[in-house]
Amino acid sequence: MQEKDSCCITDDGSREKKEYWDANFEKNETPNWIETEAPWIMTWINDIDLSKEATIFCAGVGNANIVEHLLQNGYKNIIANDISQVALDTLSSRVNNNSVTYLQDDLISPKKIQDYKGKIDLYIDRATLHFFTKCAEKDHYFSQMQDLLKTGGHTVIGVFSKDNKPKCCGLDLQLWSIQSLHNRMPDYNHTNSTEFAYKELNGNIRNYIYLLAQKQ
């Protein structure tokens, strides 16, 4: 059986990145990658000794349910970032809560994200990092994450493992191993890692790796 594509719209290169992602979220259907159950990373997050006042930065959050689950677990200071205003509008119409700040910005060419430098206790990214394939993008991504985090702050990153096609929706993907993430993050304690096979809504299996790390 031919594998269905993961996203709704195939990139033909004609759109800017923001327009591309906006067009995906404008489609009136749930994206295939969306987690419908409680995100399993909540167990990792609840095991970190994190104050409920901690500042949590959700990078490339789309309209993921992680935000609701953080709120349900009592966290009061959540920044929901995405390049797509459409995604954030969808999320904010579902989650209308003063504890959430919606921050439309490009992780790679940011205009506002720097305001949070040194203020983040927990950085979360599921399924965004692997869209950054150029060296300069990856360099910027990891150095920005490090700048955002307080010393002792944690990060939870979930990305496609090497056991996937390096293409999604016409977009090239960077596939990762635990070791390659470790190599990019020398100034962290690598607290935990795991592999996770995720069954998307269309039935495709996507193999993720997850890393929990603490900035030294």
Ligand X SMILES: C[S@@+](CC[C@H](N)C(=O)[O-])C[C@H]1O[C@@H](n2cnc3c(N)ncnc32)[C@H](O)[C@@H]1O
Residue numbers at the binding site for ligand X (CB under 6 A): 17, 21, 33-34, 60-62, 64, 82-84, 87, 106-108, 126-128, 131
Shortest distance (Å) from residue 170 CB to ligand X: 14
Return the SS3 of 126: strand
Q: Closest CB to ligand X among 33 and 116?
A: 33
Shortest distance (Å) from residue 64 CB to ligand X: 4
Shortest distance (Å) from residue 183 CB to ligand X: 22
Q: Closest CB to ligand X among 51 and 109?
A: 109
Residues 167, 206 contacting (CB under 8 angstroms): no
Q: Closest CB to ligand X among 30 and 189?
A: 30
The backbone torsions φ and ψ at residue 9, rounded to the nearest 5 degrees and listed phi first, read: -125, 135
Q: Is 116 exposed, middle or buried (0-12, 13-18, 19+ CB in 10 A)?
A: buried
Nearest partner of 146 among 118, 174, 126, judged by Cα = 118
Shortest distance (Å) from residue 61 CB to ligand X: 5
Nearest partner of 139 among 1, 82, 147, 9, judged by Cα = 147
Q: Closest CB to ligand X among 12 and 151?
A: 12
Q: Closest CB to ligand X among 17 and 150?
A: 17
Whole-number Å distance between alpha carbons of 104 and 91: 12
Residues 79, 125 contacting (CB under 8 angstroms): no
Shortest distance (Å) from residue 51 CB to ligand X: 24
- Please report where in the chains the tokens 């790390």 appear, as a residue: 213
Q: Closest CB to ligand X among 60 and 153?
A: 60
The backbone torsions φ and ψ at residue 201, rounded to the nearest 5 degrees and listed phi first, read: -60, -30
Shortest distance (Å) from residue 216 CB to ligand X: 26
Distances (CA, A) of 190 to 22, 42, 193: 34, 18, 8
